[in-house]
Structure 1
Amino acid sequence: MDIRRVQMTGGSSFVVTLPKDWTQQMSIKKNDPVRVTPQADGTLLISANISEDQIQRTREFDVTTCTNATFFFRSLIGAYIAGYTEIKVKSRGRLPSFVRMVVRDFTQMTIGQEVLEESETGVTIKDLLNPGELPFENTLRRMIVIVKGMHQDSIAALFEQDQALAEEVIAQDRDVDRLHWLMARQTNMVMRNINLSKKMGLTLYTASQYLLVSRTLERIGDHAVRIARNAVILSDKDQDQLIIAKIREASTLSLTIFDQSVTAFFDLDIRRANATIEEVKGLEHLCEGVTTAMLTHEAEDAIAVGYIAESIRRLGEYSADIAENVINYVVEHERDL
């Protein structure tokens, strides 16, 4: 830590000298401008970047010896989430066909990524999305609508023994992943560029809270898919109406808890958040009842219903996680209880 004393110049202005090592690293010379940004916690941020334009960052991948398509795809997603604005894929020889297929899948599964240049030995992917055009709250609200609809449709597919509807739920998981990756990408970009956070009107702490909720929503979507897959397994089986009634009751309560948690999140309602967490105990009891009632059924059916009950319970528990984030945020910002 470097401590510097405040000095006075001109009889009215206060000055602090900048560390020489930092100025050399940032190539700052005499009379060069720097940006000084006051922070909410009372600190000052000094930056050599005075432009509000998006910071351009490039990541290169040499796939000459790459043979694993899954690993390559995960690497591209990693670069996307890290906030790179340009991704270059190159090879010393002709690009393998699987690399082109992975690049195509990557651009289809991510938001704002497009192939701008392509040759026999390389591909350049460019980010065409201005991060400020998609506010965090809008992305999160869209995720909420999708995952809630996935849960409702997966339960409907179970009750109506509708395999097509179940398959539709499974396909929607890609949309949730795309939005979660976007949220993670924007968070990393905000962390690297304080000017972007000010432009988007949110603090770094708020951005991290949105990312936590986004990750929770992505997991809720995964459990909706789990329900749908087991609904397919049960689609040609005779239904026990007592079990169906118990599942319906548990599902209704889990969705109520979910709705209350997201309302508490956007309203920063700490009392509603606390009440929502308490309701999870009742949901756990209902889900245990579903599992117990299936003990007299065939093993395959009992296992499938057990997975469904578990995923319904997880929806409630993940909703409680969102409510806990509300309490943490409100307490952190010293708001009235």
Structure 2
Amino acid sequence: MTGQPTHPIERTVQMAGGSTFTLSLPREWGDDHGLSKGDTLYLYPNSDRLIVAPSTIDAESNATRIDVADVAEEGIVQRIRGAYTAGLDRIVVASESGLDDDLLRRVTDAVESFIGMEVQTVADDEVVIQDHLDPDAVSIPQSIEQMRQHAVEMQRDAVTAVRTDDDTLARIVRERDTHVDRLFAFVSRCLHRGLEDVNELGRLNVTRKDAFHYYKVARELERVADRAERIADAAVEQSAPPDEDLGERFETLVSTATDVVTLALAGNTGRAIEAHRAVTEQLDELDAQLAARGDPDAYRYGRDLVESARRTSAHGLNIVNMTVEASVANKLRPDEQGQYGRSQPTARLGRGTN
């Protein structure tokens, strides 16, 4: 596509030979949109309309070149990450004066954290990073489920680190956050690629609406993992582990907060809302008790652990709201018989607790 005028044209569907529908396109309109004789077009159903897309997009428009001379050294990896998230297929990092070993190492380390990208060639003056993703080998819903598993396990291990005063386990929790970030970057990439090329979402077997929903859910899960890091901070900074009763209370509240997330992902909105209300009341009570103590550890627990559990529960409630919005939107669309309110709700993500 060439980015030419996007206003719609109105055409009439014709019948050819009694068995084939045909649709004529004005020559000028086709020229404006880069079409020529023999091109292949794909039609994708999308709610109440069809989307027409070419078989591929221009390879040159899906590539970028990063000149080291134009970017501060500390910003090169950030530019690469941005290009990956934006959905680019080919990223070239180049320098006329040559690439030093330290920069090559940092570029290689960054690419290894990307799903579906690899360093294709390395020369003295440039590194070529190329997409090699096999859409059949990946799944956006599966990536969301992996994010949920990581985030919930990180929270569980983080509060265990607090109870047992285990600095090593706290550091492991921090390191695992990179796995969640990696999956979030992948989901973000899928969304951006789908906005640019509808064929990409066809290959991944998701609609644009679902891709955006998955992205919003992934963003909440990425933040849940970040809250686990904050809980791990409390384990490292505390002067001594909490007493047994307080430690058990921490564990119960963190578990309930993550239940809100899990229930929301499973579509159990009523139970998720009830869990959110219950844990919020309990966290308010505990926060007041910790504030009355006034010692440094109590302050850390209130800042890092109680507040993280509160935020985790809030992220679960955000997912509930997203699910409700998607369900309402589906009900407002007519089905194949022109009736409203019969569409299926958005597919459930993850597994709920019983």
Q: Distance in 2 between matches of 1:52 and 1:36?
A: 12
Q: 2:46 matched to which residue of 1? A: 40
Give the SS at the match of 1:295. helix
Where does structure 1 differ by over 4 angstroms across 4 or more consecutive aligned residues? 7-14, 51-56
Q: CA separation in 2, counterparts of 1:263 and 1:9? A: 46
Secondary structure of the equivalent of 1:88? Answer: strand
Q: Deviation per CA, 1:60-111, whole angstroms, max 9, x where unpaired?
A: 0011243331x22211111001111111011121224443232022122212
Residue of structure 2 in register with 1:267 after alignment: none
Aligned to 1:20: 28
**Paired residue for 2:284?**
288
SS of structure 1 residue aligned to 2:66? strand
How far apart are the structure 2 equivalents of 1:301 and 1:19?
73
User: Do the aligned partners of residues 20 and 309 (structure 1) sit closer, same or farther apart at CA in structure 2, a change above 3 Å counting?
Assistant: same
Tell me how far apart the structure 2 counterparts of residues 198 and 132 of structure 1 sit (CA, whole Å). 11
Match of 1:251 in 2: 254
Aligned-partner Cα distance in 2 for 1:210–1:238: 38
Cα 1:298–1:5 shift into 2, 3 Å: closer
* Partner residue in 1 for 2:338: none
* Aligned: 1:172 with 2:176: yes
In the alignment of these two chains, the number of paired residues is 325
Aligned counterparts, 1:173-192, within 5 A: 173-192=177-196
Does the residue aligned with 2:214 lie in a helix, a strand or coil? helix
CA contact (8 A) 1:83 1:189 kept: yes
Q: Which amino acid aligns with 2:140?
A: F
Amino acid at match of 1:290: L
2:263–2:271 CA contact under 8 A, matched in 1: no
Could you state the TM-score of these two structures normalised by the residue count of structure 2?
0.83
1:4 aligns with 2:10: yes
Alpha-carbon separation, structure 1, partners of 2:149 and 2:212: 21
TM-superposed deviation, 1:15? 3.6
Q: Which amino acid aligns with 1:312?
A: A
Per-residue deviation at 1:19?
A: 5.8
On the 8 A contact 1:276/1:323 being kept in 2, the answer is yes
Q: State yes or no: 1:77 paired with 2:74.
A: no
Partner Cα distance (2:25, 2:186) in 1:
39
Contact preservation (8 Å) 2:162, 2:242: no
Tell me whether 1:155 sits opposite 2:159 in the alignment.
yes
**C-alpha separation between the residues in 2 aligned to 1:68 and 1:325?**
39
Q: CA deviation at 1:58?
A: 1.5
Alignment identity in percent?
21
Residues 303 and 101 (structure 1), Cα distance of their counterparts in 2 relative to 1, 3 Å cut:
farther
| Residue of structure 1 in register with 2:325 after alignment | 328
- Superposed CA RMSD: 2.6
Structure 1 residues 200 and 112: alpha-carbon distance in aligned structure 2, compared to 1, 3 A threshold: closer
Q: Conserved in 2, the CA contact under 8 Å of 1:54 and 1:196?
A: no
Q: Given that residues 257 and 310 in structure 2 are in contact (C-alpha distance below 8 angstroms), is that contact kept between their aligned partners in structure 1?
A: yes
Instruction: Give the 3 Å change call, closer, same or farther, for CA 197–237 of structure 1 in structure 2.
Output: same
> Offset of 1:145 from its aligned partner?
0.9
- State the SS of the aligned residue for 1:59: strand
Question: Do residues 60 (structure 1) and 65 (structure 2) align?
Answer: yes
TM-score (norm 1): 0.87
For 1:213-251, what per-residue CA distance to the aligned partner results, in whole angstroms no more than 9, with x for missing partners?
1111000000001100111111x4252444324323312
